[in-house]
Structure 1
């Protein structure tokens, strides 16, 4: 998958999709795409990666607590019943 580094605007080929999809991983292994030669793999901060369109990554890929409020509300609702 190709994403864009928001700081440089360069494309990053993500080499570890499992890390990308996991909200518990802050970084992903990838390779910058520029020039004629493939660049060496490096780690990239997921918070600085965007889709090529400029949209941010889904919150469920970046925030391990993205459902905490929903779970808490369901827990309290269940106790009230």
Structure 2
């Protein structure tokens, strides 16, 4: 979520919007926008983030994480060298 906050801050600044202006546009408080940008809110609704991103022409999506490298134990269990 942290990188989303940075993205939203950068997009807001590129569009020369204040936190207050962005908040008014989406029916949120300035404190909510600040919390999103600073990753300081304990919970934030995905719909709020999605609405902001859509307004800037971005899409919120989920992608699988890159697989982690296997450990020696997992390779042994899979009989990798047999």
TM-score after normalising by structure 2: 0.29
Question: Whose radius of gyration is greater, 1 or 2?
Answer: 2
Greater strand content: 1
TM-score after normalising by structure 1: 0.29
Greater helix content: 2
